[in-house]
Amino acid sequence: MLHAVLLMVSNNEIKDGELYGYKTRGGKIAIPAKFNSVDTDKFYKMTIVLWKYEWVGIDRKEGVVLRPFHFVEGGEMGFADLNGDRIIPATFDFVYPFKDGLADYVIGGRNER
């Protein structure tokens, strides 16, 4: 069964910071605007949001279904898969999400890909 797409909505509050949520195509609020940032403007089964200073994947009931793609060990970052298994050791100062099979990272203050 295909889920109806939810669309990103903003509260447009600039004073206290703009927050984001999702609504149906018909305009009904499905998830109230409470996230500092969202990964995409369309929500299918899951989406990534910045909530309480942490990037998490949520489902349509706002349950956390995925933790971030990275982990920190000994002050350095590495990559984990969707099961939380560590697949690339923690050797980076900072890492960014994968896009098109590649991820940017920082070592010694320099951005690399």
Along the 113 residues of the chain, how does pLDDT read in single tens digits?
Answer: 345 677 777 876 545 578 999 998 888 999 999 998 888 888 888 888 888 777 788 888 998 887 667 788 899 999 887 667 788 999 999 988 777 778 889 998 888 77
**Rounded Cα–Cα distance for residues 68 and 107 (Å):** 20
What separation in angstroms does the CA of 43 have from each of 15, 22, 33, 60, 62? Answer: 26, 8, 14, 8, 12
Listed residue (46, 49, 47) closest to 20, CA to CA: 49
**Rounded Cα–Cα distance for residues 107 and 37 (Å):** 26
Q: What is the pLDDT of residue 11?
A: 72
What separation in angstroms does the CA of 70 have from each of 15, 33, 46, 65, 95? Answer: 32, 26, 18, 15, 7
C-alpha neighbours within 13 Å on the C-beta side of residue 92: 19
Q: What is the pLDDT of residue 92?
A: 94
Q: What is the pLDDT of residue 83?
A: 66
